[in-house]
Amino acid sequence: MKIIVCVSHVPDTTTKVNVAADGKNIDPAGVKFILNPYDEFAVEEALRLKEKYSGEVIAVSVGSDASKEAIRQALAMGADKGILIKADKSDTFAVAELLANTLKTQGADLILLGKQSIDFDGMEIAPMLAELLDMPAATVVVSLQIEGSTAIAEKEVEGGKEKIALSMPCIISAQKGLNDPRYPSLPNIMKAKQKPIEEIAATASAPRTSVIKMDKPEKKRIGKILQVDGNANAVAQQLAQLLHEEAKVI
Amino acid sequence: MNILIYFEERNGSIRKPSFEAIEAATKLGASSIAAVVASASSASVLNEQAKRAGIAKIFTVDDARFGEYSSKAAAKVIAEAAKAFNADVVIIAATSRGKDLAPRVAVRLAAGYVPDVTNFSVNGSTIHATHPVYAGKANVTMEVTTAVKVFSTRPNLWKAPKELSTNEASVEALSLNLDESDFSDRTKELMLSQGKLDVAEADIIVTGGRGLKGPENWGLIENLATSLGAATGASRAVVDAGWRPHSEQVGQTGKTVSPTLYVAIAVSGAIQHLAGMSSSKTIVAINKDANAPIFAVCDYGIVGDAFEVLPQLTEAINNVRRH
């Protein structure tokens, strides 16, 4: 089975977001970048399928040389090789299109990726790839079984799950809960340094969206703090009244 | 401006976030609003529900294969309806299904797309759409530069019109050539957890953190949730410890929520958690550590032991709600 995992390089979840001087982007100063956490589930699932059915796992990313770090992390987990599509990301559609152009030449049986990148949180790439590659896709998947040439995926939806049958090759976006990603061992981190990363130079097509500004949400909070001081009943009554009469939410 | 809204159906009803999109469309200055339903459920029932204020036209598709939902086929139906209606804008509520459909429709229409929009501002023919990024730590305001524009709107932020319109919407059945390959993904089964509200949709959420010490104490959270009619949420620490399923996790690697009331119990308020709930309308925090970061973002807080406060608060809220 040939499996492609699309990975992205994103600011760590502990990042405090500061807006850059251009007012449109995050200020990268002091920000630590990591392999997108949802992509770890995708890489893990690919490795488990390879262990079961044999085959090859290729990690693909779009971006600058820095994105090699994300690929390297996937290689350290156990992926066989990497592909870096070197291009400026003009917008999300352009990234999906760059990925699709490369994936078309690869003939994968399965394409895996995280359900969203934790930077722009758009959840756009998997559905866009589905259309661009004319492949079935299931997103936000928490369980995946392969039965012959059919993939059976469970997608998380409001209040439960949906069971989806897809003809392969297909695209699956991973949600937390799909598996427990492995930590790369030290020998595997060393081995990953020797694994090949192919570089493909590409040009993104014209963007379909443009960023006008980035800013931080400023919401004024009332900040009324009550102290229990030995009388939990009194503060509980007080809070219930405040929620009822002042905030009017109950 | 012609605006097409996708009406998402579940178990024979159109879901609330789809109706909320009507207000978003009105805010954008729609001159004509149409809806599209891609479902095998009785068209007449759905059309009855679809006759809401402002809807001039309803596009349907008459195809028994929609008995099993297919994302690919639904995207094709929406895109064809957009063409038939000469839509300038397509709005799809950012539900689980909508987040999957909207990018597909955008690709089909060669349209730019902004996901999970929380606010629109309109200046002449220019639309600025704001969507939260970095799990809500920042907002990005975007402009779509293509002629046709696709947006998904975050649920719970717009009001669904209450009144059914007395005007009959005209119904047009789309004639499409859908072949088997258009149904290459099929939803076989919807498995709902019985009687449980989902954090992603709930109007009130009560979230428990690791300060509750163990899963055996979760009943305190559930009792308060029941008295408020709330869904229960969990911090990442609680999910990682295996007390609660990840479908309840609120935060950067869980769900981003914006309920009317968010109650955080024994949650310290790590930056990843705050990112996922800071757009809630009213935030309440209960924690015995007066220095917990959650107090910096709350409207009302109680510094005290959750084990002591929760039973009293549940009782007090029951009293308020009874009157």
Stretch B298-302: mean pLDDT: 97
Same domain (yes/no): A146, A246: no
Residue B178 lies inside a defined structural domain of this protein? yes
| Total domains present in chain A | 2
Determine, for residues A118 and B115 on separate chains, whether the beta-carbon distance falls below 8 Å.
no
Q: What is the pLDDT of residue B64?
A: 87
Least CB–CB distance from A239: residue in B190, B196, B302: B302
Residue A135: list chain B partners with CB under 8 A: 184
ipTM above 0.90, yes or no: yes
Give the CA distances from residue A169 to residues A3, A38, A101, B135, in Å, rounded to whole numbers and listed in that order. Answer: 10, 21, 16, 31
Same domain (yes/no): B107, B154: yes
Q: What is the pLDDT of residue A233?
A: 95
% of chain B residues with pLDDT over 70: 96
> Quick one: pLDDT band at residue A119, thresholds 50, 70, 90?
very high
Stretch B22-41: mean pLDDT: 91
Same domain (yes/no): B171, B116: yes
Same domain (yes/no): A187, A229: no
Same domain (yes/no): B15, B118: yes
Q: What is the pLDDT of residue B43?
A: 67
Determine, for residues B302 and A235 on separate chains, whether the beta-carbon distance falls below 8 Å.
yes
Which residue in chain A has the smallest CA separation from B240? A177
Stretch A208-216: mean pLDDT: 97
The C-alpha angle B20, B26, B31, rounded to 5 degrees, equals 135
Same domain (yes/no): B151, B236: no
Q: Look up the CATH number of the domain holding residue B14.
A: 3.40.50.620
Task: Give dist(CA B139, CA A19) in Å, integer.
Answer: 10
Q: What is the pLDDT of residue B166?
A: 66
Q: What is the pLDDT of residue B87?
A: 98
Residue pair A139/A155 in contact (Cβ under 8 Å)? The answer is yes
Task: Give dist(CA B3, CA B25) in Å, integer.
Answer: 7
Residue B318 lies inside a defined structural domain of this protein? yes
Same domain (yes/no): B97, B15: yes
Stretch A114-133: mean pLDDT: 97
Report the sign of the C-alpha dihedral through residues A32, A35, A37, A38, in that order: positive
Task: Give dist(CA A63, CA A20) in Å, integer.
Answer: 19
Rounded to 5 degrees, φ, ψ at B129 are -115, 130
Residue pair B249/B198 in contact (Cβ under 8 Å)? The answer is no
CA-based nearest residue to A92, from A109, A113, A75, A116: A116
Over chain B, what is the mean pLDDT?
92
Stretch B20-41: mean pLDDT: 91
Residue B192 lies inside a defined structural domain of this protein? no
Task: Give dist(CA B318, CA A116) in Å, integer.
Answer: 40
pLDDT one-digit tens code per residue, B179-215: 999 999 999 999 988 777 889 889 999 999 999 999 9
Rounded to 5 degrees, φ, ψ at A114 are -70, 155
Task: Give dist(CA B269, CA B272) in Å, integer.
Answer: 8
Same domain (yes/no): A49, A166: yes
Determine, for residues A209 and B144 on separate chains, whether the beta-carbon distance falls below 8 Å.
yes
> Helices marked H in A78-124 — which ranges?
92-103
Residue B188 lies inside a defined structural domain of this protein? no
Q: What is the pLDDT of residue B171?
A: 87
Same domain (yes/no): B170, B212: no
> Quick one: pLDDT band at residue B165, thresholds 50, 70, 90?
low
Same domain (yes/no): B161, B27: yes
Q: Say if residue A100 is exposed, middle or buried (CB neighbours under 10 Å; 0-12, 13-18, 19+).
A: buried
| Residue B28 domain boundaries | 2-183
| Total domains present in chain B | 2
Same domain (yes/no): A184, A250: no
Q: What is the pLDDT of residue B217?
A: 97
Same domain (yes/no): A13, A125: yes
Would you state the structure tokens that stand for residue A14, as one six-digit string? 């502990």
Task: Give dist(CA A57, CA B121) in Å, integer.
Answer: 45
% of chain A residues with pLDDT over 90: 95
| Residue A66 domain boundaries | 2-201
Which of residues B183, B218, B251 is at a domain's end? Answer: B183
Residue A89: list chain B partners with CB under 8 A: none
Task: Give dist(CA A218, CA A230) in Å, integer.
Answer: 35
Residue B168 above 90 pLDDT?
A: no
Task: Give dist(CA B245, CA A161) in Å, integer.
Answer: 13
> Quick one: pLDDT band at residue A145, thresholds 50, 70, 90?
very high
Same domain (yes/no): B281, B155: no
Shortest Cα–Cα distance, A232 to chain B (Å): 5
Q: What is the pLDDT of residue B62?
A: 82
